[in-house]
């Protein structure tokens, strides 16, 4: 004879049922928070410079790091020199000549000077479960973007999801009014309809 062990629903009192539901709700919330914490913060996407600037960076910088981190800063020449010195004080093999430092510094200040807007370190893309229709996306873009530029600029671009996200976060830092969920929804829609392999 097989004996089944378990709790009969008839034997569950309202208090026990409430406790079980609270445990389930807490576990679900904990799992959701854990999943959210595992989502990495968005990073800037810095276009590679050309010519002498790239030669300086390639010869002195890229063996240890990429160039995207520059986008987190908006510094004047003195602050850039201080940051570079502090980051490389333990690396004896990194020694820019005066000429190379001048080339690099001029580019850094032009691209990431005190008048630029640094990319935020805190934006973590929310997970979206519903996707924008074309009319919804156009309404959002019209509201948030076309005050500064026309739609042709968007229509002509072809970016990946990560790149569209960076563009939108940058636009928000410059004044576009758009929530995290709206931003992520628009980024997904743009990558789907204006992506690097658009279906049109």
Question: What CATH number is given to the structural domain containing 168?
Answer: 1.10.760.10
pLDDT tier at 193 (50, 70, 90 boundaries)? very high
Question: Is 113:74 a contact under the CB 8 Å cutoff?
Answer: yes
140 and 184 belong to one structural domain: yes
Better-predicted residue by pLDDT, 75 or 40 = 75
Look at residue 23 and tell me if it is in a domain. no
- HSE-up (13 A, CA, CB side) for residue 21: 7
Look at residue 4 and tell me if it is in a domain. no
Look at residue 96 and tell me if it is in a domain. yes
Look at residue 66 and tell me if it is in a domain. yes
Question: Is 72:121 a contact under the CB 8 Å cutoff?
Answer: yes
138 and 106 belong to one structural domain: no
Look at residue 57 and tell me if it is in a domain. yes
Give me the pLDDT at residue 12, please: 55
Give me the pLDDT at residue 151, please: 87
Q: Which tokens sit at 135?
A: 């009319």
pLDDT tier at 198 (50, 70, 90 boundaries)? low
CATH code for position 81: 1.10.760
Condensed to tens digits (0 to 9), the pLDDT of residues 118-142 reads 999 999 999 999 999 999 999 999 9
- The angle formed by the CA atoms of residues 167, 189 and 199, to the nearest 5 degrees, is 110
Give me the pLDDT at residue 138, please: 94
Domain around 166: 134-193
Look at residue 124 and tell me if it is in a domain. no
Closest among 145, 140, 146, 183 to 165, alpha carbons compared: 183
Look at residue 46 and tell me if it is in a domain. no
69 and 103 belong to one structural domain: yes
104 and 143 belong to one structural domain: no
Q: Which tokens sit at 176?
A: 């576009």
Residues in the chain, overall count: 200
Look at residue 168 and tell me if it is in a domain. yes
Give me the pLDDT at residue 18, please: 56
State how many domains the chain has.
2
DSSP character at residue 53: H
Whether the pTM exceeds 0.85: the reply is no
Residue 4 pLDDT greater than 50, yes or no? no
Better-predicted residue by pLDDT, 21 or 189 = 189
């Amino acid at each position: 004879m097989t004996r089944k062990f378990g709790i009969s629903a008839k034997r569950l009192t309202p208090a026990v049922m409430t406790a079980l539901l609270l445990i389930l709700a807490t576990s679900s919330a904990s799992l959701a928070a854990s999943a959210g914490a595992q989502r990495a913060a968005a990073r800037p996407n810095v276009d590679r410079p050309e010519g002498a600037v790239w030669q300086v960076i390639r010869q002195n910088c890229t063996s240890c790091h990429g160039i995207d981190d520059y986008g987190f800063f908006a510094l004047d020449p003195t602050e850039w020199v201080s940051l570079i010195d502090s980051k490389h004080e333990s690396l004896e093999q990194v020694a820019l000549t005066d000429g190379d430092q001048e080339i690099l510094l001029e580019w850094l200040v032009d691209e990431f000077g005190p008048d630029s807007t640094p990319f935020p370190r805190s934006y973590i893309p929310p997970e979206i479960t519903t996707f924008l229709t074309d009319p919804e996306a156009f309404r959002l873009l019209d509201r948030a973007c076309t005050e500064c530029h026309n739609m042709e600029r968007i229509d002509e671009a072809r970016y990946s999801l990560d790149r569209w996200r960076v563009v939108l976060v940058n636009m928000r830092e410059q004044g576009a009014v758009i929530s995290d969920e709206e931003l992520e929804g628009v980024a997904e829609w743009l990558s789907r309809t204006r992506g690097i392999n658009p279906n049109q």
